[in-house]
Chains A and B, each alone.
Chain A
Amino acid sequence: MSARDVPQHKLLIGLSLLVLALGIVSLMIGRNPLPLIEAAMEAFDDSASTAALILSEIRLPRALIAAIVGASLGLAGAVMQGMLRNPLASPGLVGSSSGAAFGAVMALYFGFEAVFALALPVGGMLGSLGAMGLVVLLAGRNAGVTTLILAGVAINSMALAMISLALNLAPSPYAMREMVMWMLGSVADRSMRDFWVLLGPTLLGWLLLAGSGRALDALTLGEDTAHTLGINIRRLRWRLFLGVSLTVGAAVSIAGSIAFIGLVVPHLLRPMVGHQPGRLLTVSALGGAALLLLADIGVRLFPAGTDIKVGVLTSLVGAPFFLYLILKTRRSSL
């Protein structure tokens, strides 16, 4: 137990309050000042006033989706780092984000959403599962850091190429220009309908991942030891893969590929849970929600007309952090 170890219940309450506070700030920020209490009351009265519409149809889905996507990415990052026992594992690095983006692009631009309402998250999930499977196949079972990163780079490049190809061949003339949205991510101008579409698969994924804390703790002792503790490694792996691809697949299909949340959040919070992967799961989810809400607030503080995507801010924070991680690993391996 390190000095920075915080009792679990305090951590959970603190982070929940932070998410709530950021959510409320998110509702208040926008191009025009919104009288929040008034708008909320009008929305409850079902009035179609401008303030009520803006609150309930534009800002509320934006805040909810940012929180859910952030939570999914934070949770997926914590799960991947626990499962692969590798501090650099994250949805972006092991290809699940770009795979999900490819699946979502195929589902949207080739007309499947018109036929089937949940086509987007399903496409994202299938893409994510496929990409992660390929990375694990390439890197092998007990992959070292280098092998894992290389496999991730290879699959990410391939996914990016496939996304470009798909957008180029897509029937819509708007497709190519939307590449930026898929690669950088955005939660702007989403609707409550997007939120409902996102919610189902996300909750399913969270359910699959939630109960795996004990197994991940056992896994830190090594696979053989975990096996003797009664953990079915194979079943665990499948369950985690499925859970991650559901959550990340759904998140990316609605918000695009938002980088670095799954990497940064577990790292920042790990010392506070005593480096136990099991405890990190929920904490990481809350942390991810807070971080994405914060980034989305930041995006709206830029001057009007500059259409900054939220992924730009997370990258600006995450990339230096990633560099710092690499340097730290280098120093410690000396």
Chain B
Amino acid sequence: MFRPLRHLCSLCLLLASGVSAAAGPPQRIVSINLCTDQLLMALVEPERIVSLSILSLDEHAAYRRPDPNQVHINDALPEEVIPLQPDLILSGAYTNRRAAELLKQLGYPVEIFTPVESLDGLRDNLRRMARLVGEEARGESLLAVMDERLAAASADLDPGAVRPSAAVYLPRGYSSGEQTLQGEALRAAGFRNAATDAGLTSYGSLPLEDLLYTRPDLLISSDYAPGTASLADRHLQHPVLRKLTNERPMAKVPYKLWICAGPWIAEAVEILADAREGLK
């Protein structure tokens, strides 16, 4: 009995969203995913952002954090998002899949961003976001600045010389191969990725013995939840890791610089390039 009524509502919403889309760039943007939060904040002025996900308040995961008094913070629940009357909803591909699907079914314009593992993918995602929110020029300038910084970081590299090797080593032995964001950052900073020697192409756990055989010159880690204790953290304090690099401490790159793909990866590359300088 209610079916025609429901269809009518969906139709109305569709028309409404269609009408506002035709009127210009979206004015009421909602993001329910950490990485789309970050890209959005980089491109769009706060007045057009209606809601961001709760992870954007996490000081270790979020590169840029909003003022919770100025913007609504959501837990990615459709019942929170709908009353905000969004004209664009941004979501990641893996988390909150059902929420995104439901919102799409209800007729809202939902754009899904897949996490990328390369600099090219980063540029594609940024350009796509910039197009959606009507800030193409801003997007291009952000990319231009990023490319400048990346070039500067590897400017002193001698193309013929052997690159020093480094391995990302996180709690529980997690490391990153070439086809990851961290792998790209390592390469851009002038390192050879030691994890590749151990046979790792993407993300994965590297047993201690395998890591030792690759003999990296430098170990890189990211502090997640610093100041807490666990077996995983204890594993990272294994004395052999220090002996492996001749007592050289691990280089620390904040998680928030490479957990989401965005122009801020240049900062990670700069930290790594400095670490490479320190090796000489």
Contacts and interface: CB of A to CB of B under 8 A. Distances in A.
B partners with A = yes
Interface of A: 30-32, 48, 50, 53-54, 57-58, 108-111, 113-114, 170-175, 178, 181, 189, 191-193
B94 interface: no
30 contacts: A48-B244, A48-B246, A50-B213, A50-B215, A53-B212, A53-B240, A57-B238, A57-B239, A57-B240, A108-B229, A109-B228, A109-B229, A109-B230, A113-B229, A114-B229, A171-B227, A171-B228, A172-B229, A172-B233, A173-B224, A173-B228, A174-B171, A174-B172, A178-B232, A181-B231, A189-B207, A189-B235, A189-B238, A191-B240, A192-B239
A171 B225 contact: yes
A22 B228 CA distance: 37
Nearest to A56: B240
B227 to A, nearest CB: 8
B209 A172 contact: no
Interface in B131-175: 171-172
A50 B212 contact: yes
Nearest to A120: B234
A273 B150 CA distance: 73
Given A108-B230, A175-B230, A181-B231, 7 more contacts: A57-B243, A170-B230, A174-B231, A174-B232, A189-B238, A191-B238, A191-B240
Bin chain B's interface residue count.
20 to 34
B239 A172 contact: no
A58 B209 contact: yes
Nearest to A114: B229
A32 B230 CA distance: 28
B208 interface: yes
B210 interface: yes
Contacts of B208: 58, 189
Interface in B8-59: none
A31 B240 contact: no
A33 B158 CA distance: 37
Given A53-B243, A191-B239, A170 B228 contact: yes
Given A31-B207, A172-B232, A174-B230, A53 B225 contact: no
A275 B208 CA distance: 44
Contact of B229 (A53, A111, A189, A193): A111
A30 B244 CA distance: 18
Nearest to B245: A48
Contacts of A181: 231
A37 to B, nearest CB: 18
Contacts of A189: 207-208, 235, 238
Interface string B240-276: 1001101000000000000000000000000000000
